[in-house]
Amino acid sequence: AQKVTQAQTEISVVEKEDVTLDCVYETRDTTYYLFWYKQPPSGELVFLIRRNSFDEQNEISGRYSWNFQKSTSSFNFTITASQVVDSAVYFCALGGRASGTYKYIFGTGTRLKVLA
């Protein structure tokens, strides 16, 4: 079965602190994709990153970085020098064909509050 776990329900940090959002997944697929989305208060999900299962290279985009480790089935997301505008709910998602039909499974989200 496919599953995505975001154990951190809510995190509060002070501006300029670094913060890591955890994501652990389960799948029997050998080929799959992992995603992170940001959901600001407006409600729209904003695509942040996609990784495929064959590419374990870490990625950095500005203040954002992602650490993909197949050995621990984790795809963690770090925000460096957090800002108030980073306050949002962040979702990790898994896409794959475990049951024959392509499916997306989302985690329950982590609410990040960055305090000024």
Partner 1 sequence: EAGVTQSPTHLIKTRGQQATLRCSPISGHTSVYWYQQALGLGLQFLLWYDEGEERNRGNFPPRFSGRQFPNYSSELNVNALELEDSALYLCASSFREYEQYFGPGTRLTVT
Minimum distance from residue 106 beta carbon to partner 1 (Å): 4
Q: CB atoms < 10 A from the CB of 55, how many?
A: 12
Binding residue for partner 1 (CB under 8 A) from 25, 37, 66, 68? 37
Token pair recorded at residue 41: 């208060």
Binding residue for partner 1 (CB under 8 A) from 47, 60, 70, 83? 47
25 CB burial (10 A radius; 0-12, 13-18, 19+): buried
Binding residue for partner 1 (CB under 8 A) from 65, 80, 106, 113? 106
Token pair recorded at residue 24: 């652990």
Site membership for partner 1, residue 102 (CB under 8 A):
yes
Whole-number Å distance between alpha carbons of 96 and 52: 10
DSSP class of 71:
G
Binding residue for partner 1 (CB under 8 A) from 25, 75, 76, 109? 109
Binding residue for partner 1 (CB under 8 A) from 11, 13, 45, 48? 45
Nearest alpha carbon to residue 39 among 115, 116, 111: 111
Residue range at the interface with partner 1 (CB under 8 A); choices 20-28, 47-55, 57-65, 66-74: 47-55
Binding footprint of partner 1 on the chain (CB under 8 A): 33, 35, 37, 42-47, 50, 52, 91, 95, 101-109
